Amino acid sequence: MRRLFTVKLLLFSIFFLGHNAIASAKEEASDGSKKDIKTEIKEYIDHHLKDSHDFSIFSYTKDNGEHVYVGIPLPVILWDNGLKVFSSTAFHHGETIAEAGGDYYALEHGKIYKTDAEGNLSHDEEGHITNPKPIDFSITKNVMMMVITGLLMLWLFSSLARSYAKNNGVPTGAGRFFEPIVIYIRDDIARPTIGEKRYKKYMPFLLTIFFFIWFLNMFGLTPLGINVTGNIAITFGLALLTFLITNFTGTKDYWKHLVDPLGDAMPWYGKIPIYIILVPIELLGLIIKPFALLIRLYANMQAGHIVLMSLIGLMFIFKSWIGSPLSFLLAFAITLIEVLVALLQAYIFTMLSSLYFGFASEEHDHHEEETELAHL
């Protein structure tokens, strides 16, 4: 039954996203513009990948040309000579000007600019908007999904802990599914890479980051199409946490290895030529490691959404009984692969973070190392 439900959800997601693509294409055509279908699909994909100030479920155009949007508005919170709070419905998806506290604001390409009552926007020679931007603390759909995911995890694992307490360490309900995953992260990721002595202090972060990324990736495959982990700002924040924990919990041996990799095995005058090259490489590795984390997660999830939406868009390009069903089947296959990728990317991020923690917490036997280097 669970497998059947998953398949139905995936089919519904593909159909729902396809319906939005059709609606988007119709709206562009109703504006009187002469954009071809490929341009319309590209614009729709770009819109899908970006964050927004509301949850857009679907839209349609009435006979009189009026655009009707069905979705969930979110609060817009701005700081512009004081706090300004209003609903995102005031923008009507960028088609109208919002007024708050006597000031006027326009929504353009997902960003909020201060303007006048007519909504005039000035541009520089390169076409960039030069209007002032207020400080934006808005609850966007990406922020909302992170809050929802955090609350879901808090409820889920609090329930799991209570079930352990009530049943003498035996989980019940959903805990039976999540317990093997928790044990796997502990026994097959944390212990081998960090070590038996220090792994426990890193377990809360490793478990949190794994389930947080996994759940967000899975939410991205729902009909709402929330691309949270495909946002480089989000992956940067996650990688920054790994970077800070790695370096603030690093042992003396870890830092000594960075600035003095050869230790006392060689005289100082013999190490200088080597260290001119070796030490900058070691220090550069501090930045390269978290950078690899954020780029890997961002690029894989972004690419998955682009491929999936492109395949859906092909259905409206082919417009045939052969090409459109084939595109749908390919989109369905890619969606199944994305379910695996969602889990795989959470695993890779957690594994690499654990490896970095292991490097930072490792302690060396200096006497044995110096003896080996002396023999070399």
Neighbours of 273 (CB within 10 A): 9
List, for residues 312-355, the tens digit of each pLDDT value: 888 878 777 777 788 888 888 888 898 999 999 999 999 999 99
Phi-psi region of 370 (alpha: psi -120 to 50; beta: other; left: phi over 0): alpha
Q: Mean pLDDT across the stretch 219-224?
A: 81
Confidence of residue 210 (pLDDT cuts 50, 70, 90): very high
Q: Which of 48, 52, 59 is CA-nearest to residue 22?
A: 59
332-354: burial string, b at 16+ Cβ within 10 Å, e else: bebbeebeebbbebbbbbbbbbb
Specify the pLDDT at position 185.
Answer: 94
Mean pLDDT: which of 38-47, 65-74, 78-87, 276-285 is highest? 78-87
Specify the pLDDT at position 21.
Answer: 47
Residue that wins the pLDDT comparison between 107 and 375: 107
Confidence of residue 29 (pLDDT cuts 50, 70, 90): very low
Confidence of residue 31 (pLDDT cuts 50, 70, 90): very low
Q: Mean pLDDT across the stretch 285-300?
A: 90
Residue 142, classified by CB atoms within 10 Å of its CB into exposed (0-12), middle (13-18) or buried (19+), is buried
List, for residues 225-275, the tens digit of each pLDDT value: 688 998 899 999 999 999 999 999 888 888 877 777 666 666 666 667 777
User: What backbone phi and psi angles, to 5 degrees, belong to 197?
Assistant: -75, -35
> What secondary structure letter does DSSP report for 74?
-
Q: Mean pLDDT across the stretch 293-300?
A: 92
Domains of the chain by residue range? 75-138, 143-375
The answer, yes or no, to whether residue 219 has pLDDT greater than 70, is: yes
Specify the pLDDT at position 32.
Answer: 45
How far is it, in rounded angstroms, from Cα 138 to Cα 354? 33
What's the pTM?
A: 0.81
Tokens of 299: 């690029």
Residue that wins the pLDDT comparison between 224 and 22: 224
Quote the percentage of the chain above a pLDDT of 70: 82
Residue 60, classified by CB atoms within 10 Å of its CB into exposed (0-12), middle (13-18) or buried (19+), is middle
Please state which of the ranges 58-67, 120-129, 208-217 shows the lowest mean pLDDT: 58-67
Q: Mean pLDDT across the stretch 159-182?
A: 82
Q: Mean pLDDT across the stretch 283-290?
A: 87
Tokens of 304: 């998955």
The answer, yes or no, to whether residue 16 has pLDDT greater than 60, is: no
Confidence of residue 369 (pLDDT cuts 50, 70, 90): very low
Asked whether 97 and 106 are in contact (CB, 8 A), the reply is yes
